[in-house]
Amino acid sequence: MSGPGTAGEEGPRHRAYVITILGEALGGPERYRGPDIAAAHGGLGITDTHFDLAAAHLYATLDGLGVPRHLSDHIVGIVAGLRPAVVTA
């Protein structure tokens, strides 16, 4: 999941944050304890288009894993709730 200005910032720590926040959003046992999402994405210039591309990538990944579409819709719908905190441009 990337946007403008994130080159080189998607290392292991970022991936761990993404995994944890998605797990929590989907009802998993772990709790996100990383930086404030809005503050972390502020100033990155992430647009609705970038967010939509990330959602499409998530759909494609879930499809590739054989997740039924109705479950993918549910998962992406939950993630869509993060849009106001992530889209900063």
For the entire predicted model, the pTM comes to 0.76
Q: What is the pLDDT of residues 7-34, one digit of tens each?
A: 445 688 888 888 888 888 888 898 888 8
Domain 12-86 classification at class level: mainly alpha
- Report the b/e string of 20-29 with b at 16+ CB within 10 A: bbbeeeeeee
Return the pLDDT at 25: 80
Distance CA 89, CA 74 (A): 26
- pLDDT tops 90 at residue 48: yes
Residue 83 to residue 28: CA distance in whole angstroms: 20
C-alpha distances out from residue 41 to 5, 14, 71, 74, 89, Å: 10, 12, 27, 24, 10
